[in-house]
Amino acid sequence: MGTPRLTREEAQPAADAYRASGWNQSAAALSLGICRSTLQNQLRAATEFGMLLDCPAAMPGFRVKRVSSGPKGIYVTQGPEPGEPFQIREGHVVKGVSAFVDPDGNIRGQWIKTREGILDPLAVADRLKEAFEGYKPAAKPKRPPARPAESLLTVVPCADWHIGMFAWQKEASENWDLKIAEEKIGDGIADTVARSPSCAVAVMLGGGDLLHSDNKTNRTNASGAPLDVDGRWPKLLETACRLKVRAIDAALERHDRVEVRELPGNHDEHSAVAVAYFLKAWYRNEPRVMVDTDPSLFWWRRFGKVMLGATHGHTVKIGQMPQIMAHRRAEDWGQTRFRYIHGFHLHHLAKTMSEGGGCITEIHQAPIPQDAWHFGSGFLSGRSMQSITYHHDLGEVSRVRVAILDA
């Protein structure tokens, strides 16, 4: 960084001392108690302000650029003082830079263009720290359940919660906002986990679209489609994280170990990464919680003779997932007997492939109602939350379903 420009007030003592010393720099520096190089820097500023001329000083807001002599006396050329250093506005990124150059190619001026930036996950993490300032993280590990079944693993899909989605009853048959979402989804996930069998491992599988909006523009990232949103974006993020903590804490009461994965969806491709890192920091003192911060669109998990996979569903259709599993996890495919793929995104229940094809694929319902656009488009779906329990040698052995509203 360059040396900060001096103000008129800061340059005036150097000019006065220099005049009083009979234009002797060493004497002037000695009288001010500063070194000669510091005095010279101050005198350069004083020269630009016209303080060393035998004529009026530079006008306010201007600096002396050039002094020349002519038949009618001294000519002083002045120019505007430089402005403040350019600072990019908060939330903006540089879009482009234009430059004005002279015939020799020297830059004479620049124009910096900015635009509203994409959310930085690290900046989101900082916002989360502020949002949760009043909360006390778990400093002591929770006591595990008495006798969890080592042969069982439970998957709890936490997908399509669309925290922040707003619906008005007159448009969409039901009211929905942040407060209602936190109550209904929080109670639903607590009930689902409490009714699940106590297992060695529980996977709290974030299937994508945890938040309805991924930034404060309240539009989808890919298409820019407008979204009906209740509240400011940081408020959505805070509510979503609080719900995830409630869900994981409930799982710790029932299961020995808890694995957490947040798959990105088309509504939260950036927020999902930030939430994952937040949860990793939140449970840093809890050895029974493992937060997977893998940012990819696919989740794979092998448990004995059971192979599991999942994706949100906005980039790959659920029917394509078995061949992706067979190709990318060929060794696991060959060594397992029961294979299951979980998909989301469509909000309605559907099974597209049976065990006859070597892998059962399933799309899960969402717990939320429809917004005005989906309701007006005639979409139909039930609403529920559930958990699926697998035996490492027998495949799926039980399922808990909490119905919020059946179709």
pLDDT tens digits, residue range 353-391?
Answer: 777 788 999 999 999 999 888 888 888 888 999 999 999
Angle formed by the axes of helices 25-32 and 36-48, to 10°? 100
Q: Identity (one letter) of the amino acid at 38?
A: T
Q: Which residue has the tokens 């807001």?
A: 61
The candidate with the shortest Cα–Cα distance to 207, out of 318, 311, 324, is 311
Q: Give dist(CA 98, CA 117) in Å, integer.
A: 19
> Mean pLDDT in the chain?
84
CA angle 144, 150, 154 (to 5 degrees): 80
Phi/psi at 72 (5° precision): -105, 10
Q: How far is CA 209 from its chain centroid?
A: 13
Does residue 138 or residue 282 have the better pLDDT?
282
Confidence of residue 68 (pLDDT cuts 50, 70, 90): low
- List pLDDT tens digits, range 83-101: 566 666 666 666 667 776 6
Q: Which of 67-76, 85-94, 103-112, 235-244 has the highest mean pLDDT?
A: 235-244
Indicate whether 47 pLDDT > 50: yes
Q: Which residue has the tokens 């048959």?
A: 173
Indicate whether 141 pLDDT > 70: no
Mean local confidence (pLDDT), 208-214: 94
Mean local confidence (pLDDT), 150-160: 96
Q: Give dist(CA 278, CA 294) in Å, integer.
A: 13
Confidence of residue 15 (pLDDT cuts 50, 70, 90): confident
Burial label, 41 (beta-carbon count in 10 A; 0-12, 13-18, 19+)? middle
Does residue 287 or residue 72 have the better pLDDT?
287
Cα end-to-end distance, the chain, whole Å:
64
Confidence of residue 149 (pLDDT cuts 50, 70, 90): confident
Secondary element (H or E) of residue 76: strand 73-80
Q: How much is the pLDDT for 1?
A: 44
Confidence of residue 269 (pLDDT cuts 50, 70, 90): very high
Query: Who contacts 223 (Cβ-Cβ below 8 Å, separation ≥6)?
Result: none
The candidate with the shortest Cα–Cα distance to 157, out of 395, 400, 370, is 400
Q: Which residue has the tokens 């007030």?
A: 9
Give the SS3 label for residue 276. helix
Q: Where do the H-state alpha helices sit in 87-177?
A: 121-131, 169-172
Give the SS3 label for residue 15. helix
Indicate whether 252 pLDDT > 70: yes
Which residues are 219's β-sheet partners? 226
Which of 89-93, 221-225, 339-343 has the weakest average pLDDT?
Answer: 89-93
Q: How much is the pLDDT for 401?
A: 94
Indicate whether 311 pLDDT > 60: yes
Q: How much is the pLDDT for 42?
A: 83
Which residues are 171's β-sheet partners? none
Domains and CATH numbers, the chain: 8-80 (no CATH), 86-117 (no CATH), 121-405 (3.60.21.10)
Write out the two tokens for 284: 């840093």
Q: How much is the pLDDT for 9?
A: 81
Indicate whether 406 pLDDT > 50: no
Q: How much is the pLDDT for 94?
A: 66
